[in-house]
Chains A and B, each alone.
Chain A
């Protein structure tokens, strides 16, 4: 017998099961928040869950990055085409200012798919008391989860811009000159990625925190992202009601806010006719995105402060 014997007699033995109390250092609240933040990031990509859970996030992230890869390939071909290449490159529809319009729906679907998993599961399985009975406070829990989702969405939005940026720098005849040409776009796309992550991630978090049912949360998030632009389009183009209200209503549509913010940041023409028709100052979209982000995060924290466990 090789087990640690705690009691032994001629006919029998009782063994030490090896249970020990933990007397090591306690890492405290900050470490708990960090762990929950890291766990949220993993959950968003389905890491730690089954294989099927990984398919939607990685597929959507892959699809979001695909146009950037194509654009870089296109730019590389154009750079080898001689003098006519620049014209070909200029004709490419995949540019910093048009990128959000290309992948906005994918980012919305990403938020709709992952936020309910992040916020609903703990409610569904009734494990919130396990979190709240520890050093972690309720706002800590909510903020760690929200910022986990925001970090992932920020990464998903930013990655294609980075691919585009690096690709364009390196396909330029001289990378140093290329860097000089492209560096101006860097703060712009970082700002746009922050606004997209904040607004879409914040709204998805808020909605998901209200229901443990995944399907309900997904449907509600998609509805909030899809229906307001339709209503805004009807109001602004159909001439229904007060014209000023119709113009201002564009600031209640998350999708349109981000289109307007994108146009304001890159100084381009908005992709959406409703946003163009509203003719609002660019800063109003940026402010609306910031207010929407901060407001939805604050309401998510408030939801967790009041949630019954």
Chain B
């Protein structure tokens, strides 16, 4: 995720891997995407939103499958719409099944490599199949695959030309927990290698584990962007809850109640549950209060600093 920075004349101009500039898309009277702008660099970004929020429309525009009604979508500086050249730099894993069931996983990867015009399609396919750990089943027809294996076969097809930008629409759909873990580690390693990965998902747990930053789309608008913990801290109209374990919870709770930033403290299951409206003020005051009260702190943890709480806040505003 990039943020606006003052221009540095010495630095080379930054070209985001994915740039969405004032993009809208409407179908008749229905506005699916409404004036969205963002820019993404290397890393994993999760695209979140309730059903019908415009996630798939946005992904289709980024993949060059759909023209924006207004605005511009660029991949590595090139317009995504009507630029076949971008597919050399772009891998797409669509949500819907788009794999011939009679092909084997390997054949599917080879065909993708051939369509990309690679010099050694079979070697590239082997590499891609190995990357998604599908080697054992590579020569079985895709029709016999589980849903998770099909997803990995599609990912192999998208990775075969080693694209720097990867778009994945609901990649975790139908995967069992082990396959999800594998997919998460695979995408993480690809992001660590400098790829820009954008994936849509409604499984918040996976997004929380995988994404460096998130884009929250709601009713066709961009509701928030960035690291979800930072977004949580910006939600100042919603109190933060911390659980604190200490050597004397009762004394600590009494002392905390004197702090203006704290407006609630409760003893729950051998811990103090503290509610504060000011994240920064509380985290600065807590060590001082503990020291002044001669209480040792053993554990301080945010209780509602989850992506789920951030997401539910953003879509219910």
Contact = CB atoms under 8 A, between A and B. Distances in A.
B234 A8 contact: yes
Nearest to B4: A1
B230 interface: yes
B226 A15 contact: no
A12 B37 contact: no
Contacts of A10: 3, 230
Interface in B230-282: 230-231, 233-236
A12 B223 contact: no
Given A7-B234, A12-B231, A2 B226 contact: no
B37 A14 contact: no
Tell me if A's interface is mostly helix, strand, loop or mixed.
loop
Contacts, number: 65
Contacts of B221: 15, 17-18
Interface in A1-31: 1-3, 7-15, 17-18
Nearest to B231: A12
A163 B213 CA distance: 68
Interface in B197-222: 213, 218-219, 221-222
B225 interface: yes
Contacts of A11: 213, 226-227, 229-231
Contacts of A2: 21-22, 37
Q: What is the interface residue range for chain B against chain A?
A: 20 to 34
Contacts of A9: 226, 230, 233-234
B284 interface: no
Contact of A13 (B3, B21, B22, B317): B3
Contacts of A18: 34, 221
A155 B317 CA distance: 49
A8 B21 CA distance: 19
Interface residues of A, number: 14
A214 to B, nearest CB: 24
A199 to B, nearest CB: 37
Contact of A7 (B39, B222, B236): B236
A156 B48 CA distance: 52
Contacts of B228: 12
B197 to A, nearest CB: 18
Given A2-B21, A2-B37, A15 B234 contact: no
Contacts of A15: 221-225
Contact of A14 (B34, B38, B235): B235
Interface in A184-238: none
A21 B4 CA distance: 30
Nearest to B2: A1
B289 interface: no
15 contacts: A1-B38, A1-B225, A2-B21, A2-B37, A3-B36, A3-B222, A8-B234, A12-B225, A12-B229, A12-B230, A13-B224, A13-B231, A14-B223, A15-B224, A17-B317
Q: Which 6 A-B pairs have the closest CB atoms?
A: A12-B226, A11-B230, A12-B230, A11-B227, A7-B234, A12-B231
